[in-house]
Amino acid sequence: MITLRGLTKRYGDTLAVDGLTLDIKEGQVTGFLGPNGAGKSTTMRMILGLDNPTDGEALIDGKPYSSLRHPVREVGALLEAKALHPARSARNHLLTMARSNGIPARRVDEVLETVGLTKVARRRAGSFSLGMYQRLGVAGALLGDPQVLIFDEPVNGLDPDGVRWVRELVRTQAAEGRTVFLSSHLMSEMQLTADQLVVIGRGKLLADAPIAELLASSSRAGVRVRSPHAEGLRALTEQLLASEGARVEPAGDDEVVVSGWTVEEVGDLAHRLGVRLHGLNAVSASLEQAYMELTAESVEYGTARTVFGVPAAQRKTEA
């Protein structure tokens, strides 16, 4: 398990990470999200002892990384895929890691097979594509068969087959009881991969919750109601709007989407009002929608929303 307690990092007047406190548990994939400049990479670097915190602590199974007796056998990490000598072959790079950490040479061939690089194992790494570098970085993280895995953007540069391979790999590692901490900007892939999500913005913790809970909390989640009875649908809408916590948006001539109520609650109200329904189903928010709501005030490099290439504010002025 990875434990963060009041983890803080300042660079001069810049507060990069602001008092993060959370537990990243074993047996699940924990996704790590945040806008550019939110402090994700700095947090991972502090966990791995590459940066010293200004305040607070980052512990791995109760100990700082610097005090681990066999770090490569306890923690596997991929932060920068190209952080290796380009003149070395993939196999020699991993052999060097293995020999310096007391890992048998046969393990090198095992991880090369796992990541699909056996056929190119003796090629110089400098000739690799970005996707091949990523696979070699994953091999290095797996080399010591560690219980904790930390990956920063591991699918960057991978083709769709490679992205799926990473997803299946990290889920398998978590299912075997390992702690997996994974950052990515690919929201659709994170939604398929993660069990738990940690979201930060401007260094602060915005959310730490199971992915299903985070999606359900989005204003885009709700209940889609369809009825051929226009007056009945109007009466249902009026009752909902008069109720605490309900929001209603039209979704067509005979449909509305209700937020803040469950399918059962809307169905019971329609029954009491005698409204005939042709459709009643839950609407799930996407992770992208939930994420954008959470981080709306934390984006460092915001851009104006445009419609057909024209800034929204300008369109209103022209109208």
The CATH number of the domain where 35 resides is what?
3.40.50.300
pLDDT tens by residue, 202-250: 999 999 999 888 887 776 778 889 999 888 898 988 888 888 778 888 8
Residue 27 lies in a domain: yes
Indicate if 203 and 229 belong to the same structural domain: no
Indicate if 199 and 228 belong to the same structural domain: no
The CATH number of the domain where 227 resides is what?
3.30.70
Could you give the number of structural domains in the chain? 2
Indicate if 227 and 206 belong to the same structural domain: no
pLDDT for 85 beyond 90:
no
Residue 69 lies in a domain: yes
pLDDT tens by residue, 133-170: 999 999 999 999 999 999 999 988 888 999 999 999 99
Indicate if 191 and 270 belong to the same structural domain: no
pLDDT tens by residue, 9-57: 999 999 999 999 999 999 999 999 999 889 999 999 999 999 999 999 9
Q: Which domain holds residue 163?
A: 2-210
What's the pLDDT at 312? 46
Residue 289 lies in a domain: no
What's the pLDDT at 308? 40
pLDDT tens by residue, 241-299: 888 778 888 887 888 888 777 889 889 999 999 999 999 988 877 788 888 888 887 76
Domain boundary, last residue among 177, 210, 243:
210
Residue 9 lies in a domain: yes
DSSP string, the chain: -EEEEEEEEEETTEEEEEEEEEEE-TTEEEEEE--TTSSHHHHHHHHTTSS--SEEEEEETTB-GGG-SSHHHHEEEES-TT-S-TTSBHHHHHHHHHHHTT--THHHHHHHHHHT-GGGTTSBGGG--HHHHHHHHHHHHHTT--SEEEEESTTTT--HHHHHHHHHHHHHHHHTT-EEEEE-S-HHHHHHH-SEEEEEETTEEEEEEEHHHHHHTSTT-EEEEE-S-HHHHHHHHHHHHTSTT-EEEEEETTEEEEESS-HHHHHHHHHHHT---SEEEEEPPPHHHHHHHHTTTT-SS----EETTEEHHHHHHH-
What's the pLDDT at 296? 81
Indicate if 196 and 271 belong to the same structural domain: no
Residue 104 lies in a domain: yes
Q: Where residue 303 falls among pLDDT bands split at 50, 70, 90? A: low
What's the pLDDT at 286? 78
Indicate if 25 and 159 belong to the same structural domain: yes
Residue 53 lies in a domain: yes
Residue 140 lies in a domain: yes
The residue with greater pLDDT, 185 or 284, is 185
Whole-model pTM: value is 0.79
Indicate if 171 and 277 belong to the same structural domain: no
Indicate if 114 and 228 belong to the same structural domain: no
Indicate if 166 and 99 belong to the same structural domain: yes
Indicate if 50 and 10 belong to the same structural domain: yes
Residue 91 lies in a domain: yes
